[in-house]
Amino acid sequence: MLYRLKDMGYEAHLVGGGVRDLLLGREPKDFDVATDATPEQVKEVFRNCRLIGRRFRLAHVRFGGEIIEVATFRAGQPVEDQGEHQTDNGMLLRDNVYGNIEEDALRRDFTVNALYYNIRDFSVIDYANGMQDLRDGLLRLMGDPETRYREDPVRMLRAARFSAKLGFRIEPATEAPMHALADLLAEVPAARLFEEVLKLFLSGHAVGSFEKLRQHGLFGQLFPDTEAALATQEHEFPHTLVLKGLENTDARVTEGKPVTPAFLFAVLLWEPVRLRWLALQGDGVAPYAALHAATGDILDRQLTRVSIPRRFSTPMREIWTLQSRFVHTKGKRPHRLAAHPRFRAAYDFLLLRVAAGEADPELAQWWTDFQGSGDAPAAEPEASDAPRKSRRRRGGRRRRKPDSGGGD
């Protein structure tokens, strides 16, 4: 692709995280290309190209089984020319214009993401001292940090994510405004924050991301009810459950096993749901009805911060509501529960609650034995279920570790 653009007379370079990861000896997840060709010119060069975006157009070029994002060099504008305005809390909104490679480099977020690989002489172009920061393990925001965060508050989440992923220190000036500006995330569309949450927690460094988010006052902007519960019960099972759930998620990603946002959000939001469930029961509501109502209350509140598509929120709610049915171990109820399509995910969640010290280990063991007895009906496996390596076979007793990938 780069050579074809070069042969057509355009300047084109690999840029960003792909270059950074290659220099660190890591396998890049994807590659981005920056060029002086306009999106329309890129489309003329590649027939398998689709243009996306309204405020700033990008070219998506299918290359084998991958999609390569091709962006035209961008530039900052003088304030008087930008059509810049502010939201009520000071978030800056600007339009983008095309520029040259140096302008493009200086408007990127972090110095280590502003490195360009030049195929003409196989060199790395560095306008922002990114190579030195890469060697120093330092994450530095380009430009004035407060201004850059006001331009796009998601940069604070990216700082936490890259710090966790790369093991880099956040440069002091980059770190300093984060607490004070965290509430700018309220201006970011909930759908965009959903995508950022997936990047934070489903990329193999969920525990580190969680710790960085809490350190810089960002987690509470994404999950305010969960943060309130963790802040008051830091050393008890709510914190343990979240950490164990995120540890299991990281382990599954490392092992190449499937993970699901439904289970992730079930873990992150369980404690506020549980507290609301107990409060409703204290008001005289029957346990199952109370749990059903609690899931609706917490989910409605959460959706104002981070959207959760129905394809994930529905199984998440089922994972929660099935928890109240595990106490019924007599008659036909266990068989009906075991036949539920979300049983495996709910059972994994029960084991996670046990590991965190919240649920009764003997109850979990009863369900483990029940499944291995040969009497339990086989629930229909879901598309992303992982192999059940530790599920007890007929005869013999074996306890399972909680599995963060059960379900959808």
Amino acid at position 156, single letter? M
- Cα–Cα nearest to 176, from 151, 210, 140, 122: 140
Can you tell me the distance from the alpha carbon of 263 to that of 385, in angstroms, rounded to the nearest whole number?
A: 11
- Residue 48: φ, ψ to 5°: -90, 50
The pair of three-digit structure tokens given for residue 197, joined into one six-digit string: 């949450």
What is the C-alpha to C-alpha distance for residues 212 and 164, in angstroms, rounded to an integer? 7
* CA distance to 77, 273, 332, 357, 369, per residue, from 364 (Å): 61, 20, 18, 12, 9
Give me the active site residues, please: 30, 32, 109
Reading phi first (left if > 0) and then psi (alpha if -120 to 50, else beta), residue 202 is in alpha
Per DSSP (E only), the strands in 321-389 are none
Please provide the DSSP assignment of 85-147 as one string. Answer: EE-TT--EE---EE--HHHHHHTSSBGGG-EEEETTTTEEEESSSHHHHHHHTEE-BSS-HHH
Across-strand partners of 111? none
Residues 320/292, Cβ–Cβ less than 8 Å:
no
Q: Which amino acid is at 167?
A: G
- Alpha carbon dihedral 393, 396, 398, 404, in 10-degree steps, equals 10
How many angstroms separate the CA atoms of 407 and 217, rounded? 31
CA–CA dist 90, 77 (Å, integer): 19
